[in-house]
Structure 1
Amino acid sequence: MKKVTLVLSGLLSLSLTACSTNQQTDNSSYNGEIVFSQFEGQNLKLTVRNNNCKQQQEGSAENIVVSQAYDSDLPVGACVKVSKDENGNTVVDNISRSPSRSWLSRTAIH
């Protein structure tokens, strides 16, 4: 029993160490809300309000032109993380729960 407890505590400490080293300390990234989205040629132009995903009207709005194909995970109202990749390109990731992934939302049965 003592060996099992020792192994479990070792695994727990190892997993906590892995989680803490995996966090980014990127000061240029922020969370915001998509307030407008439109196509411009092959690009998707997003207007993101830098408000830490709180439902408030104040906060600076930033126009971001994302060069990517249509992404259904970036709807208006989604909470997103805006950051830069290692090449300096702007990356927008949806960090809110996406209702488009739910099969119920696609069937219109609620």
Structure 2
Amino acid sequence: MKKVTLAFTLLLGFLGLAACSSTKNDNVYRGEILFAAQKGNNLKLTIRKNDCKQQEGGIKEIVLSHSYDSHLVVGSCVEVSHNDDGITVTNISRKRSSSWLSRTSKN
């Protein structure tokens, strides 16, 4: 009975991993910001599409039509997603908290 339970558990585990790997979204990638400049109301970013790991990789330049975001700085790792609303860039690097409460203590 234990062997059947173990085999069933392994089978479900492999099926779960196969389901997760097949849901990869090709419209989302990670990269490093190489250059950032504000042009009027637009933020122009040059992003190296390298999954934030390697120093070399293809360079993809995008122009965003939204207000300045202080979290999108040179050197940060970002996730770029393309959807029906346009392009969304999210900083996924570890960053200092934006909450003023976390910066009021004396360290």
RMSD of equivalent CA atoms? 2.7
SS in 2 for 1:30: strand
- Note if 1:91 corresponds to 2:73: no
* Letter paired with 2:71: D
Structure ID, larger Rg? 2
Alignment length, in residue pairs?
86
Q: How far 1:100 sits from its partner (Å)?
A: 5.6
* Letter paired with 1:74: L
Percent identity, please.
50
> How many angstroms apart in 1 are the aligned matches of 2:44 and 2:88?
12
Contact in 2 for aligned 1:35/1:76 (Cα 8 Å)? yes
Q: Structure 1 residues 98, 71: closer, same or farther in 2, change over 3 A?
A: same
Matched with 1:34 is: 33
What stretches of structure 1 of length at least 5 have no aligned partner?
Answer: 1-19
TM-score by length of 2: 0.66
TM-score by length of 1: 0.64
